[in-house]
Amino acid sequence: MGGAWTKEFADAPDALKCNADHRTVVQAGGVTIGGGEFITMAGPCSVETERQLMETAECVVRAGARVLRGGAYKPRTSPYSFQGLGEEGLKLLALARAATGLAVVTEVMAAADAPRVAEYADILQIGSRSMENYALLEAAARTGRPILLKRGMVATVADLLRSAQCILSYGNSQIILCERGIRTFETATRNTFDVAGIAVLKEATHLPVIADPSHAAGRRSLVPALARTAVAAGADGMIVEVHPHPEQAWSDGDQSLSFAEFETMMADLVPWCELQAQFRRVAEPVA
Ligand code: PEP
Ligand code: MN
């Protein structure tokens, strides 16, 4: 239990379990994350147009997703790449929420933007590249919105929990941790999916843990296998990229699922999620 990890994660004492049953359940826009149901967050990498977002939101809600993802502020490695629609993108996300009932998660990149993003989003995403931006962690935490904290691509599990500890120290305990793949010597995948990291986090912390098979895989054909692995490792949910025309996406098209691919993956995941729920009932019997 968390107690077994106090040495490894000494800098994140408040993120660790006090006992086997200790868990934080995050409530966001009517969705419960970490409550036993495997929650899927899905949508485009970037919000591009009203039509693209609405069509995607309608597809993912039909297929069983509970949260719509979509970037309005994009951390692009090239200054010449699409940088996101900014507030216009936030407004489109709010429109899609009103039309579908999905909760909304979107990335905040700058501390100054945190209050504005919090006006529109149910969950604020801290991206991999921002995991150690402490001013941003503080600003996001202080909005009071739940935080989806992605693991930095060169961050250890201990580093991730240190950042969670910062958010906790600002009085926000509504944190969802996200394993999205790390940099290793392997180049066949975009990042190396650290499935053991999911198991470690589930054992050590009381915070919900989700996986991002899209940014780990980097190619759409691998996404369903990584999603199954995430369920098997005990993740509380996943965040997946979906696009009406992946080959035309303005960002991350190679790893985005088409609507048909997403629907198939969701249907195929059902028995795996049922197994996970059965396993949880055995491992964590209700008193
Ligand atoms: C994203 O979710 O589109 C994203 C940029 O993710 P990450 O921060 O994990 O690279
Ligand atoms: Mn992306």
Q: Which of 208, 212, 176, 193 is nearest to 280 (CA)?
A: 208
With respect to CATH, is domain 2-70+84-280 assigned 3.20.20.70? yes
Ligand nearest to the CA of 252: 2
Q: Residue 286's pLDDT is what?
A: 58
Ligand nearest to the CA of 70: 1
Pocket of ligand 1 (CB under 6 A): 45, 71, 75, 127-129, 150, 180, 212, 215
Atom of ligand 1 nearest to the CA of 75: 5
Per DSSP, 205 falls in state B
Q: Which of 77-81, 177-181, 183-187 has the lowest mean pLDDT?
A: 77-81
| Cβ-based neighbour number of residue 8 at 10 Å | 15
186-243 pLDDT, tens digit per residue, is 999 999 999 999 999 999 999 999 999 999 999 999 999 999 999 999 999 999 999 9
> What residues does each domain of the chain span?
2-70+84-280
Q: What's the whole-number average pLDDT of the chain?
A: 96
Atom of ligand 1 nearest to the CA of 128: 8
First to last CA, the chain: 18
| DSSP per-residue codes, 256-271 | PBPHHHHHHHHHHHHH
- Per DSSP (E only), the strands in the chain are 26-28, 31-33, 39-43, 67-69, 103-107, 123-126, 147-150, 175-179, 209-211, 237-241
107-142 pLDDT, tens digit per residue, is 999 999 999 999 999 999 999 999 999 999 999 999
Per DSSP, 127 falls in state P
166-181 pLDDT, tens digit per residue, is 999 999 999 999 999 9
Which amino acid residue places its CA nearest to atom 6 of ligand 1? 127
Q: How confident is the model at residue 3 (pLDDT cuts 50, 70, 90)?
A: low
Q: How far apart are CA 145 and CA 285, in angstroms?
A: 31
For residue 105, is pLDDT > 80? yes
